[in-house]
Structure 1
Amino acid sequence: MIDLWRIDSEIIKSYNLDTKMKKPNSKRFYHCVKTLCPIIYLVCLIANFSCSNPKSEEYFVRPCKFVSDYEYNDTTKYAITCRVWGLLKYYHPNVTAGKLDWDKVLLESLEAISYVNTPDALNLELNKMLISAGEYSYKEDKEWNDSLKMNVNLSWLNSSFIDDSLKIELKKIASLEVKYPSFYGVDYEHIVLQNEKNYDFEVSSSQKSVNLRLLSFFRYWNVIYYFFPHKYLMDRSWDVILSEYIPKFIESVDPQSYNNTFLKLVATLNDGHAYIITDNESPKDFRDIIEKVDDITIVRVNAGELQKGDIISSIGKQNIKQVRDSLSVFTAASTQGNKDFRINCSIGQMIFGQKNLVKVFRGDKSLEINVVPVDYKKENLQIYRWISDGIGYVDLSQVTNKDINPLFESLSEADGIIFDLTKAGPYRMEIEPFVCHLFEKKEIQLSSMVYPDPMHPGAFIWRKNFQTTIPDSLSSPIYKGKIVVLINESTQSGLETIALEIRNNCNSTLVGRTTSGALGRVTFVPLLGQRASFSNFALFSADGTELQRKGINPDIVVLPTIDAIRNGRDEILDAGIDFIIKRQM
């Protein structure tokens, strides 16, 4: 199986953490967010992540599908171990204070648990784990809220083979309020999971390797369980996936099977921000080479011996449907459109990144082509330019802060400007200097947001109906012409948010296809030899409906066509131009 190409470039790096700080350093936090995700910075200014009084906030409540009954067997003994270890990791005061190496505790427990074959023997080992966490002062948190009840399942304590004394103690610990910052919790200043250890290990059938693989899986499962706000939107229960994947990780005794198991696991999140990131990521860009039109997979550009309009029937020994189906289980995406886009990218990598026999239909001919690796390079066009009489064009994926004033000065007399958000990748500009040229009102309406409550891992807090004000220092002439924004299934994360805020705050028209449906901030989870990422908070439309797994719908829908591809036309851009021309008449 090929390494799947990661759509977004890495935008967040790890920093050295000051675990002694009493609360988030707001100034440094906002600077970090402003640099990495400017539109979210605006939201955070209002949200104020100081966590000074979360109990006064409205909690986010969405019911998840839970598994409560655990009959003892060789799989459930590890599932319960994973749950107990995770609950203590995020709630036991000594563990959250960083007084123990909690990974080491798990590895020692797994060594003994591998020989366990009765519930009593397992309870003995789990009690040892609890004892190793040490004594603590108990003060019940009276604010056990509905968000926790809905997002964190404790019913397994009542419906499992855990002994009564351990159940009582775990329930007490789960009712504690966690002091921020938690040693293993989300560090909001740097937007990473903090203090997670990295390990160098060889994937093999040895017990040490098995235990390290389970550690990596248990770490990831618990992070998603406590900090992923979209569990309720997943196609399958995260509880079910726990038991399903334990045997898979035990049996993944070589690097390729281990990597594939993790890719399949991450894909179950149905999250466009869910990636597995390794050091050997492909540096090549395979976007926009392959397109899917209905059930046809077609080449979009001339590359190597393939020509635009070639319809792919097979790659190697697999027909194209088999290829797409085999890639689908490894491909994480929030929507089917975005999954198709990512599969297209992977097919581009398969064809042009290595030698392959490709069968295509070209006109009325069936051809077999031995494709060799191609260093395909896209044409670098101007960031902003005139593309038609009275119509300007801006590729927002290339715009930096220094480009903003010149582009609006250059295009100020345009009847309409087309802002292109279909070029996937991180954007490079701050949003405030940009929107001050578009928004007549100084007050900006922002999306509602849900983010994790650091004092109650598993709970999430609403921030609704934000407004912020553009400072007078950024006062600029307002562009008065037509505003068209191009979007498609590759438009993701901050680019989606830009489209949403332009729609919410000025007279604009969105043209293209529904966006990726993966909005909000990304958090990275250090794994063994890899890192994983996921959407750590959620954005909602003004009426409170989800944007995750739905995306932003265009005002004018434009679908890809074989005719446009064969004639080298950008059908979404053409539709944007046509819209402005009709308004010029």
Structure 2
Amino acid sequence: MSARPIRSSEWAVYEIVAPVADDATSLTVGFLLNGAGPGWIDSASLEIVPTSPADEADGQPLSAREVNNLTAFAKLYGYVRWFSPYSEPNDARWDQIASDGAVAASRAESPQALATTLRTWFEPMAPDLVISLQPNTPNPERGPTGELDLVRWRHEGVEFANPAYRSERVSAERLETWQAGLGSGLFVSLPLAAPRTALSSEARPDALQTAQQAGNDRATRLGATIIAWNVFRHFYPYFEDDGENWERDLGNRLVNAAEASEPAAFRIVLQSMVADLHDGHGDVGPETDDYRLPLLWQWIENALVVTAVARDSDDGIGVGDVIVAIDGRPVEELLRNESALVSASTDAHRFWRAAEALRSWQTNRPMTIRVEGADKVQRDVQLTPVASMRLSGLLEENRPAPVTWFPQGTWYFDLTRLDDRRLDEALRQVRPDQPVIFDLRGYPHGVKADFLGHLTSEPVDTPPFRIAVVELPEMRDRHWKTVGWDVAPTLPRLRGRVAFLTDERAISYSETLLAMVRGHDLAEIVGEPTAGVNGNVNPFNLPGSHQIVWTGMKVVNHDGSDLAGSGVQPTVPVSATIAGIRQRRDEVLEQGIEVVIQSGDTALASPQGDMLQRAPR
């Protein structure tokens, strides 16, 4: 239910359809209440529902007729679920409609039979739906209809579990109809507004029966693909062509889903779909890899370079070694394959996510890693993936302590390893004229933006967060609701020079902070461009226990330019080098120190935070 929260105070029927393990001894049902308030359950029932019959065609290629039928079904599904005034978009039955309805539609042997099948599945959710074999005559605009108390759907983003997005019925000024071709010789006419009094469950038919879906049968895969495709078709905020290319690719995605009879193969189908969004938040869950290689690496100077090894590791791999192959497969080939499944708006962030994926494995089987050292000699070493929890505290980059005073005359605060309390304590040690370096090479989990108030005498606002307001399918005539927040000036004002360090690992909230810095000229930004994705994610669940994570709003820079595809740009570009990694140097930090000190030779060989933790008095 997390993807379809109950927000109404009216009594209504809700149901959960889920598989039960053969050895289960009890079922527990309860509320998860966000905030304070009571909740009631009445007339609860438990029913064993039939399992959908096995599909003998599972895994077989689709015929051209089946592809056309499924395309028509998929398009109609999105129109009705999110835009028919009679529909409840978060009704649990929509999963079944997507899955079993798709299979039924695929079997129709003529346009007439397909039209009948579509009516069977969709009229219970849209009783005034018209499906015909010829284009519909455009409806003239109706006269005054205020006495009808019309309502229609209005989506701010689209409502799943994240409260930043909302779908609600709102008053409609006129009767309006959506008309479109579905393919397969069919056309749809769908009223987008209806009298409020016609929306009660008693006023419309309810002919659909629930069936339990298998975990990875063809119906479940087709249903999951149709749901995900439609969410993005109607609500993804970053399509530059209004989704035309997305529309053209629907048939291929359905073909791939039908043939992906193994769970791992279908996961790749979903990953490929999300990758085509170029959304750095985009991901497919749940995660299936429980083990990690006990090292860190990054793509540096067109090579995969080891940047850290676990403290208790003696596997023969050292910092600065270049990874050549894993189990005999060239690392370039592995990264190319992983990159094809990574969603990212910039190449640098895509390579970083692909490299991280190569560290993750489903088993702890020993692996043969071919590496090349500074001497250009290649050697094979055995490396065993380790349970992720065992690496906690054992695997860290070459960085100073989170709070460090360097004798060159500057403070260093690593925002990715501090929380508000520790940062506040650290900032109280800073004299107003002392330089400060903030490290944002990654994600700050426990730091609010309030600290930026020390860098300004005026309020600092976020970049514009734009939520698409959608009332028509296919993002037609959408407009934007802009939201954001401010940071107020805070005393004492830091008047020394300030620099922020960053790279392609800085994503989302990191980019909010850096965009505020860049947009208001609060400090220099040293390093490489950020990931190029910001805005609240809006996860949703699919049949088959998959979850999709994606960005539900569009964020631009303060000047209106695109963040996606470029990221927040550094004011002082600098990149790590293989030579620097081998010498245990942090070249980005070195440049940051030079920027804030503006004095002679500030190169540091592995600066250590424990050498000085407080400023001289």
Q: State the TM-score, normalizing by the size of structure 2.
A: 0.70
Match of 1:419 in 2: 438
Matches within 5 A, 1:128-527: 128-135=120-127, 157-158=180-181, 160-163=183-186, 166-167=187-188, 169-170=189-190, 172-173=191-192, 176=193, 201-203=214-216, 209-232=217-240, 237-278=245-286, 280=288, 282=290, 289-303=296-310, 304-349=315-360, 354-362=365-373, 363-374=375-386, 376=391, 377-379=394-396, 382-413=401-432, 415-423=434-442, 425-431=443-449, 433-441=450-458, 443-453=459-469, 455-456=471-472, 458=475, 460-463=478-481, 470=487, 475-527=490-542
1:427 and 1:495 in contact (8 A); partners too: no
Match of 1:122 in 2: 114
**Distance in 2 of aligned mates of 1:252 and 1:82:** 18
Match of 1:186 in 2: none
CA distance 1:452–1:467, shift in 2 (3 Å): closer
**Distance in 2 of aligned mates of 1:15 and 1:580:** 50
2:275 and 2:342 in contact (8 A); partners too: yes
AA matched with 1:112:
A
Residue 74 of structure 1, CA deviation: 1.8
> Identity across aligned pairs (percent)?
19
Matches within 5 A, 1:8-23: 16-20=5-9
- 3-state SS of 2:87 partner: helix
CA distance 1:569–1:210, shift in 2 (3 Å): same
AA matched with 1:290:
W
Residue 445 of structure 1, CA deviation: 3.5
**Distance in 2 of aligned mates of 1:411 and 1:15:** 47
Matched, 1:95 2:87: yes
Matched, 1:551 2:567: yes
**Distance in 2 of aligned mates of 1:159 and 1:253:** 27
Which structure has more relative contact order (CA 8 Å, sep 6+)? It is: 1
**Distance in 2 of aligned mates of 1:361 and 1:463:** 52
1:198 and 1:526 in contact (8 A); partners too: no
2:105 and 2:118 in contact (8 A); partners too: no
Supply the RMSD in Å over aligned alpha carbons: 3.9
AA matched with 1:274:
G
Matched, 1:562 2:578: yes
Residue 388 of structure 1, CA deviation: 3.4
Residue 120 of structure 1, CA deviation: 2.1
Residue 449 of structure 1, CA deviation: 2.8
**Distance in 1 of aligned mates of 2:195 and 2:335:** 45
CA distance 1:389–1:295, shift in 2 (3 Å): closer
AA matched with 2:183:
S
- 3-state SS of 1:578 partner: helix
Matches within 5 A, 1:26-65: none
Residue 530 of structure 1, CA deviation: 2.1
- 3-state SS of 1:453 partner: strand
2:434 and 2:497 in contact (8 A); partners too: yes
- 3-state SS of 2:240 partner: helix
CA distance 1:540–1:558, shift in 2 (3 Å): same
Residue 558 of structure 1, CA deviation: 1.0
AA matched with 2:381:
I
AA matched with 2:221:
R
**Distance in 1 of aligned mates of 2:349 and 2:462:** 25
1:71-90: CA deviation from partner (whole Å, max 9, x where unpaired): 97221211111110111000
AA matched with 2:117:
E
- 3-state SS of 2:230 partner: helix
**Distance in 2 of aligned mates of 1:95 and 1:336:** 40
- 3-state SS of 1:410 partner: coil
**Distance in 1 of aligned mates of 2:302 and 2:89:** 54
1:91 and 1:177 in contact (8 A); partners too: no
Gaps of 5+ in 2: 11-33, 36-62, 130-138, 143-149, 158-176, 201-209, 602-617
136-145 or 154-163: bigger deviation: 136-145
Match of 1:5 in 2: none
Gaps of 5+ in 1: 1-12, 22-30, 33-70, 149-153, 184-196, 204-208
Residue 156 of structure 1, CA deviation: 9.3
CA distance 1:238–1:178, shift in 2 (3 Å): farther
Residue 241 of structure 1, CA deviation: 2.6
- 3-state SS of 1:133 partner: coil
Match of 1:47 in 2: none
**Distance in 2 of aligned mates of 1:235 and 1:308:** 45
Residue 291 of structure 1, CA deviation: 2.0
1:22-74: CA deviation from partner (whole Å, max 9, x where unpaired): xxxxxxxxx99xxxxxxxxxxxxxxxxxxxxxxxxxxxxxxxxxxxxxx9722
CA distance 1:354–1:333, shift in 2 (3 Å): farther
- 3-state SS of 1:521 partner: coil
AA matched with 2:552:
N
1:313 and 1:361 in contact (8 A); partners too: yes
1:351 and 1:358 in contact (8 A); partners too: no
2:291 and 2:363 in contact (8 A); partners too: no
Residue 383 of structure 1, CA deviation: 2.8
Structure with greater helix share of residues: 1
CA distance 1:282–1:460, shift in 2 (3 Å): farther
Residue 230 of structure 1, CA deviation: 0.8
1:248 and 1:261 in contact (8 A); partners too: yes
**Distance in 2 of aligned mates of 1:142 and 1:105:** 24
2:233 and 2:243 in contact (8 A); partners too: no
**Distance in 2 of aligned mates of 1:99 and 1:293:** 48
AA matched with 2:323:
I
**Distance in 2 of aligned mates of 1:115 and 1:467:** 49
1:449 and 1:462 in contact (8 A); partners too: no
2:284 and 2:546 in contact (8 A); partners too: yes
- 3-state SS of 1:213 partner: helix
374-383 or 288-297: bigger deviation: 374-383
Radius of gyration: which is bigger? 2
AA matched with 1:544:
G
CA distance 1:481–1:532, shift in 2 (3 Å): same
CA distance 1:529–1:307, shift in 2 (3 Å): same
Match of 1:582 in 2: 598
1:259-294: CA deviation from partner (whole Å, max 9, x where unpaired): 2221222111111000112154547597x8112223
AA matched with 1:202:
G
Match of 1:83 in 2: 75
CA distance 1:161–1:259, shift in 2 (3 Å): closer
Residue 534 of structure 1, CA deviation: 0.6
- 3-state SS of 1:516 partner: coil
1:352 and 1:371 in contact (8 A); partners too: no
1:112-134: CA deviation from partner (whole Å, max 9, x where unpaired): 22321222221221222332224
CA distance 1:283–1:382, shift in 2 (3 Å): farther
AA matched with 1:321:
E
2:339 and 2:354 in contact (8 A); partners too: yes
2:505 and 2:530 in contact (8 A); partners too: yes
2:291 and 2:361 in contact (8 A); partners too: no
**Distance in 2 of aligned mates of 1:388 and 1:428:** 28
- 3-state SS of 2:382 partner: strand
AA matched with 2:437:
I
Residue 414 of structure 1, CA deviation: 5.8
AA matched with 1:109:
G
AA matched with 2:272:
K
Residue 155 of structure 1, CA deviation: 11
